[in-house]
Chains A and B, each alone.
Chain A
Amino acid sequence: MKLLTHNMLTSHVRGVRPGGGFPLRIQATEVKVNNVDFNQEFVARMIPKVEWGALLEAAESLGHLSDLPHQLPPEYENNEDFLRKVHHVLLEVEVMEGILKCPDSGREFPITKGIPNMLLSEEEET
Chain B
Amino acid sequence: MTWWILGLKNIKKNQGSYAVFKMEHEATQLENQHVHSVYESTASYFNDLQSKAWPRVRQFLLEQKPGSLIADIGCGTGKYLNINSQVFNLGCDYCEPLIKIARKKGCEVSVCDNLNLPFRDQCFNAIISIGVIHHFSTKQRRIKAIKEMARVLISGGQIMIYVWAMEQKNRRFEKQDVFVPWNRDLCSRLLSESNQSGHKSDLEHTVKKHPQQPVGSECSYPINRTQELDTKSSHSTDHCLAKTCCMKMSEEEENRFYSALGKSFRSWFFSRSLDESTLRKQTEKMKSLKNVGEWANSTISIQPSRHCSLDLGHRGPLLKEQSLDDDEVFMENASLKKPQWMTASGVIRDLNGEHHGVVQSKNEETSFLSGPVENRDNNCTYSKDEDGKSTTSKLFQRTSTTDSTDSILDEAMAVGDQVVDILDTKAFMRYYHVFREGELCCLLEENVPELHIISSCYDHGNWCIIAEKIAK
Which residues of A does B touch, CB under 8 Å? Answer: 1-2, 4-5, 8-12, 22, 39, 41-46, 49, 51, 109, 113-120, 122, 125-126
Q: Which of B25, B68, B96, B125 lies in contact with A117, CB distance below 8 A? A: B96
Contacts of A22 in B (CB 8 A): 120
Main secondary structure of the interface of A (DSSP, over half): mixed
- Would A8 and B66 count as touching, CB distance under 8 A? no
Q: Which of A43, A109, A120 lies in contact with B113, CB distance below 8 A? A: A120
Tell me, rounded to whole Å, the shortest Cβ–Cβ distance linking A8 to chain B: 5
Q: Count residues on chain B whose CB falls below 8 Å from chain A CBs.
A: 30
A115 touching B67 in the complex, CB below 8 Å, given contacts A9-B119, A12-B117, A49-B123: no
For chain B, residues 113 to 145, give those with C-beta under 8 angstroms from any C-beta of chain A.
113, 115-120, 123-125
A10 touching B86 in the complex, CB below 8 Å, given contacts A113-B100, A113-B103, A116-B111: no
- Would B110 and A118 count as touching, CB distance under 8 A? yes
Contacts of B108 in A (CB 8 A): 1-2, 4-5
Tell me, rounded to whole Å, the shortest Cβ–Cβ distance linking A72 to chain B: 16
Q: Which of A51, A113, A118 lies in contact with B112, CB distance below 8 A? A: A118
- Distance in angstroms between the alpha carbons of A39 and B66 in the assembled complex: 10
Given contacts A9-B110, A42-B66, A116-B110, 18 further A-B contacts (CB under 8 A): A1-B108, A1-B110, A4-B108, A8-B69, A8-B123, A9-B119, A10-B119, A45-B65, A45-B67, A46-B69, A46-B88, A49-B69, A115-B110, A118-B113, A119-B111, A119-B113, A122-B25, A126-B116
- Would B111 and A117 count as touching, CB distance under 8 A? yes
Q: How many A-B residue pairs lie within 8 Å, measured between CB atoms?
A: 79
* Closest partner residue, chain B, to A10 (CB atom): B120
Say if the beta carbon of B109 comes within 8 Å of chain A.
Answer: yes
Say if the beta carbon of B94 comes within 8 Å of chain A.
Answer: yes
- Would A115 and B111 count as touching, CB distance under 8 A? yes
- Would B67 and A46 count as touching, CB distance under 8 A? yes
The 8 closest A-B pairs by CB, nearest first: A45-B67, A118-B118, A117-B111, A116-B110, A10-B120, A8-B123, A118-B112, A8-B119
Q: Interface 1/0s, chain B 90-102, versus A by CB < 8 A?
A: 1000101001100
Say if the beta carbon of B206 comes within 8 Å of chain A.
Answer: no
Say if the beta carbon of B28 comes within 8 Å of chain A.
Answer: yes
A125 touching B67 in the complex, CB below 8 Å, given contacts A113-B103, A118-B111: no
Among A8, A43, A114, the most chain B Cβ lie within 10 Å of the Cβ of A8
A119 touching B94 in the complex, CB below 8 Å, given contacts A10-B120, A126-B116: yes
* Closest partner residue, chain B, to A11 (CB atom): B118
- Would B120 and A122 count as touching, CB distance under 8 A? no
Among A11, A44, A115, the most chain B Cβ lie within 10 Å of the Cβ of A115
Contacts of B99 in A (CB 8 A): 115
- Would A4 and B100 count as touching, CB distance under 8 A? no
- Would A42 and B110 count as touching, CB distance under 8 A? no
